[in-house]
Amino acid sequence: MKDDLLSIIIPAFNEEENIPVTSKVVLEIMSEAEIPCELIFVSDGSKDKTFAKILEQSQKNPQVRGIEFSRNFGKEAAIRAGLAKAKGDCAVVIDCDLQHPPETIVEMYKQWKNGYEIVEGIKNSRGDETFIHKMFAGIFYKTLSFLTGFDMENTSDFKLLDRKVVDILLDMPERKTFFRAMSFWVGFKTCQVTYDVAERAFGTTKWSFIKLVRYAISNIVSFSTKPLALVNYMGVISLFAGSILAIQTFLRWVLGKASEGFTTVLLLLLILGGGILLGLGLVGTYISAIYEEIKCRPRYLIRLDTDVISENQE
């Protein structure tokens, strides 16, 4: 059965209560379905006892492994670190709070066995998210689907990847990754499995509104350059409008009806100024993204590793 190992990657940020539950529930479901698996918890610089709990689980059961980051590097970095550590022939990424139903992994694994190289988890419903959250998520995915040309609506990080795809993702040199969209970009034989978002088992969501907005902007910038073209369009439109206005003013002047409009001038200045600042800001956002990439800093730093700890104990 060596060729069938499934790595289950679980990013965890301040999830001390969820570690024992998630680990138990997932392992039970996998053993019932007779799926050989390993659990890889990545504690993303947690401030609570998350890593201690991971270590406890790993000492009880060698199927459980885990690492701890030196600080909070974000979920994307945690997913990548998990993929890098995975030994499986396929890997699935799942949230630590049991919002992604682990039973769905069994279905995903079956599809992988049927020859699919990527199995996307698609949300049926968005669970107990607030109206505002659902609305922003809707706008974000519509924009993203438009900009990237992939239908990304209701997608999530809950997906299973074949070893081939995992290796390709790990080989990609960019620092700023967007896991959800990368699996679309690589292509491969893909199928979808739908699931209902469950309620969070313990604790609260780790995303504040500001963090989500930043995440949205950074993902759009890292995945599409179309917004830059928008600056050009804005320039063309305002130039066109300006020219029309100039012609009209000139004609009125010829007809002896020179327009006196301090307010018009002010308004125009404000609108143009706003447009120029927005354009500059947009260009700046891309330059800062390039700057971050070009520094080539490591994507994350590992402070502790259960494999190393158990080796030292032997």
In the complex, the residues that contact Mg ion under the rule CB under 5 A are 95, 97, 99
- 159 vs 206, beta carbon nearer ligand UDP: 206
Nearer to ligand UDP, 110 or 126 (CB): 126
CA–CA separation, 123 vs 245, rounded Å?
50
Q: 48 or 89: whose CB is closer to ligand UDP? A: 48
155 is a site residue for ligand UDP (CB under 6 A): no
Greatest Cα-to-Cα distance within the chain, rounded to the nearest angstrom: 97
Residue 129 or 292 having the CB closest to Mg ion: 129
Bridge partners (DSSP) listed for residue 194: 122
Dist CA 192 CA 124 (whole Å): 12
C-beta of 78 vs 152, nearer to ligand UDP: 78
If the CB atoms of residues 37 and 117 are measured against ligand UDP, the closer one turns out to be: 37
# of chain residues touching ligand UDP (CB under 6 A): 16
208 vs 312, beta carbon nearer ligand UDP: 208
Range in contact with ligand UDP (rule: CB under 6 A) among 5-13, 114-122, 142-150, 285-293: 5-13
Contact between 96 and ligand UDP by CB under 6 A: the answer reads yes
Choose which of 12, 92, 160, 181 interacts with ligand UDP (CB under 6 A): 12
Choose, by CB under 6 A, the member of 40, 55, 57, 74 that binds ligand UDP.
74
From the list ligand UDP, Mg ion, none, which binds 96 (C-beta under 5 to 8 Å, kind-based)? ligand UDP
Q: Are 223 and 285 in contact (CB under 8 A)?
A: no
Q: Which of 41, 102, 206, 219 binds ligand UDP (CB under 6 A)?
A: 206
Angle, CA 129 vertex, CA 102 and CA 50 arms, to 5° = 50
Please list the alpha-helical segments (H only) found in the chain.
18-32, 50-60, 75-85, 103-113, 131-148, 163-171, 179-185, 209-223, 226-254, 262-295, 306-313
User: Applying CB under 6 A, does 66 fall inside the site for ligand UDP?
Assistant: no
Judged by beta carbon distances under 5 to 8 A according to partner kind, the member of Mg ion, ligand UDP, none in contact with residue 67 is: none
Minimum distance, C-beta of residue 165 to ligand UDP, in the bound complex (Å): 21
Stretch that binds ligand UDP, among 67-75, 109-117, 216-224, 279-287 (CB under 6 A): 67-75
Nearest Cα neighbor of 120 from 178, 198, 190 is 190
Quick one: angle between helices 209-223 and 262-295, nearest 10? 80
**Residue from 97, 117, 120, 162 in contact with ligand UDP (CB under 6 A):** 97
Q: Using CA atoms, how far apart are residues 183 and 256, in angstroms rounded to an integer? A: 65
The CA distance from 72 to 46, in Å, is 7
| Partners of 66 in beta bridges | 41
Nearest 5°: the CA angle 260, 265, 270 is 160
H-helix or E-strand spanning residue 92: strand 90-93
Contact footprint for ligand UDP (CB under 6 A): 11-13, 15, 44, 72, 74-75, 78, 95-97, 99, 205-207
